[in-house]
Amino acid sequence: MHIATRMKTRTQGGITEVLVLVNHPMDTGLVKSPITHKIIPAHFIKTLTIAINHKPAVITDMGIAVSKDPLIAVKLKGAKSGDLVSVDWIDNEGMTGHAETHVS
């Protein structure tokens, strides 16, 4: 299953900031449901990769300590106007997300 992922970039002074917003529950596996009183199974993003022109620039290993619907911000040097910036991620249940944009 593919989950909605949004991304935008902004460049200032030769530094490109990449903002990624993922619509994801990021459940820790440590919380009980208030309705069923059963543990909500862990469901979190494992790996997130940001690439410039299809070359990985940032690879992150994530886990249960990240908040619901995470907003990830990364600053990159060397990205030029028109470069393709993409993000791909996979979670512990095999769900994925992808977004891409061009540096403005």
Reported pTM? 0.91
Rounded distance between C-alpha atoms, residue 91 and residue 44, angstroms: 5
Tokens encoding 103? 């540096």
Domain range list for the chain: 5-102
Query: Tokens 């619907």 map to which residue?
Result: 69
User: Are 101 and 8 within 8 A, CB to CB?
Assistant: yes
CATH architecture of 5-102: Sandwich (2.60)
Residue type, 80: K
pLDDT digits (tens, 9 = 90+) for 23-33: 999 999 999 99
pLDDT digits (tens, 9 = 90+) for 78-92: 899 999 999 999 999
Residue 1 has pLDDT above 90, yes or no: no
User: Are 55 and 11 within 8 A, CB to CB?
Assistant: no
